[in-house]
Amino acid sequence: MRRPVSVAPPKGKLGVLTPGMGAVSTTFMAGVELVRRGHAVPVGSLTQLGTIRLGKRTDGRTPKIKDFVQLAKLDDIVFGGWDVFSDDAYQAAAKAGVLEAKDLVKAEKFLKGIKPMKAVFDQNYVKNLHGTHVKKGKTKFDLAEQLREDIRTFKKKNKLDRLVMVWCGSTEVFLKAEEVHKSLASFEKGMRANHPAIAPSMLYAYAAISEGVPFANGAPNLTVDIPALEEYAKAKNVAIGGKDFKTGQTLLKTVLAPAFKARMLGLNGWFSTNILGNRDGEVLDDPGSFKTKEESKLGALEYILQPALYPDLYGKIHHKVRINYYPPRGDNKEGWDNIDIFGWLGYPMQIKVDFLCRDSILAAPIVLDLALFFDLAQRAGMRGIQEWLSFYFKSPMCAKELYPEHDLFIQLMKLKNTLRWMMGEDLITHLGNEYYD
């Protein structure tokens, strides 16, 4: 990838489209509105609160990221989305039960104005959802054309300069990349023939790329992670990325596992279990959708610990992930981890983590950051997979000859160095020997 010659400034309005207007999406919309109106601080958002060091440690140059790279302003964001239910964003947020009435009421009028467009949906891909607010079309290609039309209309009606799309829809059943996903030509042929391996989320991604709109995938579905859409994104100069927001349990896993490896501590097993009671939990109660999530959650340890390089330490790990749908908990998930490690002379030790988290409270700032960074990448002319945004994903997409980088702090360094690189600043290597000359 070549360094951008220039980055177009973020003038005009930015449309943020979310397929899926459920718990995560509406918490994101409500939160941005409360921040805009001065009712809240955007806690959890690197783009809003984070800083970046430039030059030497003695230079004292540490601007806010949003000032350094000129991100779109929150005031310039316009929200839109699709859902299989016709509830407006206020009703959907109230049903999701993430935000308390005292907070929701402050954004009530605003959220009531955000009404979902009819979704492209097929229950074969999300078994536990029965939606009615759904488009009709003879072929998958027709449905993608309807999504394209929605995007163009939304842009025109709201007088937008640019758009980004972040998938906040339910997790679809597990699909493996196959022949039909291999090239754009076979994919387009497959859409016309209603090929069963083309899921609705892929049609949103196809429509976004067709309209020059960057696409980020917040769920673990394959979606844009197929050669056909990667090829298409490159041809259309569109930024893409995914998959699966890294929010709670996996966030901690990708902090703890690198610590064990850094100190050459061994690992025998890692048992992760979750209870949650939101609609996401209900969808994940179906074995097909759970398998998609399970694959996504299992990947990180293997890549971080590199058992082939360290067989004595990580050659025999028992890694299990469970998700249990338990309605009383709603969005307030509990994630337990039992970690069996060993140290000097093989003596065993245990670590227990009990994270009483709030799923959508952790995810909302990630949606915001992804929308703003994908818009930045697009303005900088960076096309195809944006690996520098791996920081936000449980299963980061990367070039096919690479393995994904999961270590949170390597991901953060990569992200910040990419920003420095884009703006022509020196990269920071943390060598620091010049201070001791």
Ligand X SMILES: NC(=O)c1ccc[n+]([C@@H]2O[C@H](COP(=O)([O-])OP(=O)(O)OC[C@H]3O[C@@H](n4cnc5c(N)ncnc54)[C@H](O)[C@@H]3O)[C@@H](O)[C@H]2O)c1
Binding site for ligand X (CB under 6 A): 19-25, 82-85, 96, 119-121, 126, 129, 131, 168-171, 200, 218-219, 244-245, 247-248, 278-280, 283, 359-360, 362-363
CB of 17 to ligand X, least distance (A): 11
Alpha-carbon gap, residue 122 to 203, rounded angstroms:
12
CB of 276 to ligand X, least distance (A): 9
Asked if 305 and 318 touch (Cβ cutoff 8 Å), the reply is no
Residue closer to ligand X by CB (options 23, 267) is 23
Instruction: Please calculate the CA angle 216-219-175 and round it to the nearest 5 degrees.
Output: 110
3-state secondary structure of 371: helix
Q: Which amino acid is at 309?
A: L
Report CA torsion sign: 364, 216, 225, 424. Answer: negative
Asked if 164 and 15 touch (Cβ cutoff 8 Å), the reply is yes
Residue closer to ligand X by CB (options 119, 175) is 119
Residue closer to ligand X by CB (options 200, 384) is 200
The residue sitting closest to ligand X, measured at its beta carbon, is 22
Give strand pairing partners of 271: 320, 338
Alpha-carbon gap, residue 352 to 340, rounded angstroms:
9
CB of 55 to ligand X, least distance (A): 36
C-alpha dist (Å) from residue 299 to 251, 274, 306, 320, 330:
13, 17, 11, 11, 26
CB of 238 to ligand X, least distance (A): 20
Residue closer to ligand X by CB (options 66, 170) is 170
Residue closer to ligand X by CB (options 21, 380) is 21
CB of 367 to ligand X, least distance (A): 9
CB of 154 to ligand X, least distance (A): 14
CB of 287 to ligand X, least distance (A): 15
> Which position has the token pair 């309209």?
211
Pairing of strands 215-217, 117-118: unpaired
Residue closer to ligand X by CB (options 135, 416) is 135
Q: Which amino acid is at 143?
A: L
Beta carbons within 8 Å of 337's beta carbon, 6+ residues apart:
249, 252, 253, 270, 271, 272, 351, 352, 353, 354, 355
Strand order in the sheet with 117-118: 117-118, 77-83, 14-19, 162-167, 215-217, 239-241, 384-385
Residue closer to ligand X by CB (options 66, 279) is 279
Alpha-carbon gap, residue 22 to 369, rounded angstroms:
18
Residue closer to ligand X by CB (options 301, 422) is 301
CB of 420 to ligand X, least distance (A): 28
CB of 136 to ligand X, least distance (A): 14
Residue closer to ligand X by CB (options 85, 270) is 85
